Structure 1
Amino acid sequence: MNDQIQDIAYRLNTRSGVVIDARPAVPGDEAALETFFDKVSDEDRRFRFLTAHRHVGHEQLKPMVEVDHFRSETFLAFDDANKELVATGMLACDNDLDTAEVAISVRADYKGKGVAWAVLGLLAEEAKKRGVREVISIEDRDNHEAIALERERGFVPRACEGDAHLVILAKTLR
């Protein structure tokens, strides 16, 4: 995967000391993302896509790599030490740039190392640069880790109308 790192845009330091290099995804990253999602736990894949997927394929990956790099962006995060893809974060803004949804996935063996914390910070900063007013994350109520992390980052929970099993966490940026 070393040849997948190109044009690193950000260097992120995690709370545990792992250094992450992040860059926007491009269509040629689809195969790397497919392999990456095979290393994400079954539960985390379910939380990420809000449905069970044993394997994430083209239909789920296409919107992650075919982005406009402004209203929608997917960042790939690589461990600087071994150059392996360890996380991905997606930012999807509405047309008015009023609200942006974020979604993060972290490889199972990198959970608990502060990678999601760092990627969430990057997504919030990118939304702010675009002039977004509010960043939201839609979480399964059982995803206690993500909810706690987002609350630590200043996100406030609110009900998700029409689905009592989901919760929206929101952070005002401006």
Structure 2
Amino acid sequence: MCNVTEILQPTKTVRKVTTREGVALDIRLADEHDEAALTALFAQVSDEDRCFRFLTAAPCVTSAQIDPLIHTDHFHTESFLAFDQATGHPVASALLACDRAMDTAEIAVSVRQDYRGKGVGWVLLDLLSDEAHMRGVGRVISIENRANRATIELEREKGFIARAVDGDPALVMLSKSFR
């Protein structure tokens, strides 16, 4: 079992939003002080979703997996944390990672198990797309395990187009162009 402490959000809100299901969120940039918050969050992400996100079946995320989420350059990479306004607890993480040429950005979203189906993923997918577009990126991509049907369907509903990943029949790449 992962060692998790209760984490409440600091007051560095970037965006306040309400999901289609009425969940009020404060979204802010993640930073080097958020390792405990991210550990707590990923302890409450389903085993299957954690495996999809980190491509490992480990019961806990490691510091090495969290490090890229808390040490970004705020240009090519950006990491966001979403907190439930009512409780102050972290409920989702979103990562944007642009290539050096700023042509393509890979995105990743993880949502706490008890917040899935409440519009949190929709909000964060929109946020990442907006951030990539504002940076001048031409397209965003998401590489998903084919078994991750819920995420693939969500991304398709948001205008992403799926195609096979050469050499790996278990994966699919979804992309959305801005140009």
TM-score scaled by length of structure 2: 0.94
1:146 corresponds to 2:158: no
RMSD: 0.9
1:155 corresponds to 2:160: yes
Structure 1's consecutive aligned runs of 4 or more residues displaced over 2 angstroms after TM superposition are: none
Deviations 1:16-45 (A, max 9, x none): 011111011001101110111111000000
Deviation at 1:117, TM superposition (A): 0.6
How do residues 65-144 of structure 1 correspond to structure 2 at under 5 angstroms? 65-144=70-149
> In structure 1, the residue corresponding to 2:59 is in which secondary structure?
coil
How many aligned positions are there? Answer: 173
- Once residues 172 and 76 of structure 1 are traced to their aligned partners in structure 2, the CA distance between those partners, rounded to angstroms, is 25
- Long gaps (5+) in structure 1: none
- Once residues 136 and 51 of structure 1 are traced to their aligned partners in structure 2, the CA distance between those partners, rounded to angstroms, is 21
> In structure 1, the residue corresponding to 2:122 is in which secondary structure?
helix
Deviations 1:101-145 (A, max 9, x none): 000100011011010011100000000010000000000000000
Map of 1:55 onto structure 2: 60
- Long gaps (5+) in structure 2: 1-6
* Percent of aligned positions that are identical: 53
1:8 corresponds to 2:21: no
- Once residues 18 and 72 of structure 1 are traced to their aligned partners in structure 2, the CA distance between those partners, rounded to angstroms, is 27
- Once residues 75 and 67 of structure 1 are traced to their aligned partners in structure 2, the CA distance between those partners, rounded to angstroms, is 10
